[in-house]
């Protein structure tokens, strides 16, 4: 679907970049087609406003941070986190015009990332209890731009049928093209899909899975959180827990920012962050190659009927039904090419 045409999507939280990236100064980002600038205030929390000075329309992201404010790099006008101009250096004795302001957005720090909601949020950021659990360590993984839609990435994240084909170079078993067990339960936040299957375990993934056996059994507990977030819990027979969080932040109608991080109940000595990131880079690259070939504006082939879809399409169908219900609940009339058949 054309995400920029759905105003209700502006009412959700999206991670936009790691907080560490903001340590170097204000950063630009495009969220749902809106050009914004993000910076860190003196207390370490993020702020976000439109990336456009109200004076001569220069990009504020080309400026710098002064205390809690962002200063335009053109003439030095300063704005606070509410978007109000608080200083005009060329007229220090004059009252600042009430209209001297830029739109401001909701911003907060969570899980090591800056999150932004363009309008009043409908719900809080989804919980990740492991983040504050000393039994788990957190590893930041990917922050990159893809040419696809957020719904495409989400439906792919719950599609067990693609493992044998897309991931045959990593963990997929081509001889086993369907999982041993699959169950899906809808929840208030979206749904949880449970899958059990045997995967390949090549030498490059031995320390990832914690075993040197050529195959191992993987138990998926995969949650979809509206609108475009995935929390994937992977459990192995040896007790290893590997939790992947993937967010498809909508940049515009054709692009997403993929942000991914993970939690594990082991130590760096057991499997280093570098090893984890190298392996997952191979897996996610396999997904990216396929997803960047699909039609970003068509969540499903509009000529195909629901009854003709594969069983593995069920999560994607539920996603589209829930998103359609959300659009209608909030008075959206233009669903564009979002469809369930």
Residues 102 and 47 in one domain: yes
In what order do the strands lie in the sheet containing 78-79? Answer: 64-66, 69-71, 78-79, 85-87
Average of per-residue pLDDT across 174-200: 84
Residues 54 and 196 in one domain: no
Residues 198 and 296 in one domain: yes
Residue 330 lies in a domain: no
Q: Is the pTM of this model over 0.85?
A: yes
Residue 123 lies in a domain: no
Residue 23 lies in a domain: yes
pLDDT at 333 over 60: no
**Structural domain ending residue among the three candidates 63, 82, 117:** 117
Residues 50 and 195 in one domain: no
Residue 327 lies in a domain: no
Q: Report the number of distinct structural domains present in the chain.
A: 2
Residues 230 and 293 in one domain: yes
Average of per-residue pLDDT across 173-181: 69
Residue 227, preceding bond cis, omega within 30 degrees? Answer: yes
Alpha helices for the chain (secondary structure H) = 150-157, 163-166, 206-209, 273-291, 314-329
Distance, CA of 317 to CA of 186 (rounded, Å): 12
Query: What does the mean pLDDT of the chain come to?
Result: 90
Residues 110 and 209 in one domain: no
Predicted local distance difference test score (pLDDT) of residue 14: 98
Model confidence pLDDT, tens digit, residues 276-331: 999 999 999 999 999 999 988 865 444 454 545 566 678 888 898 899 889 888 87
Residues 153 and 90 in one domain: no
Predicted local distance difference test score (pLDDT) of residue 305: 46
Residue 331 lies in a domain: no
Distance, CA of 248 to CA of 151 (rounded, Å): 8
Instruction: State the CATH number of the domain containing residue 301.
Output: 3.90.380.10
Residue 238 lies in a domain: yes
In what order do the strands lie in the sheet containing 229-235? Answer: 137-146, 256-264, 241-250, 229-235, 215-225, 190-200, 181-186
Residues 147 and 217 in one domain: yes
Model confidence pLDDT, tens digit, residues 208-265: 899 999 988 888 899 999 999 999 999 888 999 999 999 999 999 999 999 999 999 9
Q: How many CB atoms lie within 10 A of CB 246?
A: 21
User: Rounded to 5 degrees, what are φ and ψ at 325?
Assistant: -65, -40
pLDDT at 339 over 50: no
Residues 312 and 167 in one domain: yes
By residue range, what is the domain housing residue 216?
129-321
CA angle 282–311–294, rounded 5-degree value: 45
Residues 183 and 294 in one domain: yes
Residue 334 lies in a domain: no
Residue 61 lies in a domain: yes
Residues 89 and 149 in one domain: no
What stretch of H or E contains 146?
strand 137-146
Residues 277 and 204 in one domain: yes
């Amino acid at each position: 679907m054309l995400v920029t045409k759905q105003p209700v999507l502006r009412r959700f939280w999206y991670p936009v970049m790691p907080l560490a990236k903001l340590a170097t100064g204000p950063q630009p980002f495009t969220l749902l087609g809106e050009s914004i600038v993000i910076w860190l205030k003196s207390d370490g929390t993020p702020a976000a406003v439109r990336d456009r000075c109200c004076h001569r329309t220069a990009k504020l992201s080309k400026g710098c941070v002064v205390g809690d404010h962002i200063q335009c790099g053109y003439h030095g006008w300063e704005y606070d986190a509410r978007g109000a101009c608080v200083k005009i250096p060329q007229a220090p004795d004059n009252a600042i015009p009430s209209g001297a302001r830029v739109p401001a957005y909701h911003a907060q720090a969570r899980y090591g990332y800056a999150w932004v909601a363009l309008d009043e949020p409908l719900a809080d950021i989804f919980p990740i209890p492991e983040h504050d659990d000393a039994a788990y360590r957190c590893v930041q993984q990917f922050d990159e731009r893809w040419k696809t839609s957020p719904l495409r990435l989400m439906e792919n994240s719950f599609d067990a049928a693609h493992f044998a084909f897309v991931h045959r170079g990593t963990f997929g078993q081509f001889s086993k093209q369907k999982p041993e067990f699959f169950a899906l339960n809808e929840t208030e936040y979206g749904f949880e899909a449970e899958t059990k299957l045997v995967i390949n375990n090549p030498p490059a993934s031995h320390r990832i899975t914690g075993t040197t056996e050529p195959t191992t059994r993987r138990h998926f507990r995969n949650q979809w959180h509206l609108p475009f977030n995935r929390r994937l819990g992977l459990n192995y027979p040896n007790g290893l827990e590997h939790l992947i969080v993937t967010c498809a932040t909508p940049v515009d109608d054709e692009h997403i920012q993929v942000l991914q991080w993970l939690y594990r109940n082991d130590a760096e000595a057991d499997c280093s962050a570098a090893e984890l990131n190298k392996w997952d880079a191979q897996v996610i690259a396999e997904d990216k190659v396929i997803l960047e070939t699909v039609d970003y504006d068509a969540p499903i082939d509009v000529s195909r009927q629901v009854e003709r879809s594969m069983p593995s399409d069920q999560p994607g169908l539920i996603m589209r039904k829930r998103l359609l219900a959300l659009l209608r609940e909030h008075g959206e009339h233009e669903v564009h090419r979002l469809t369930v058949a």
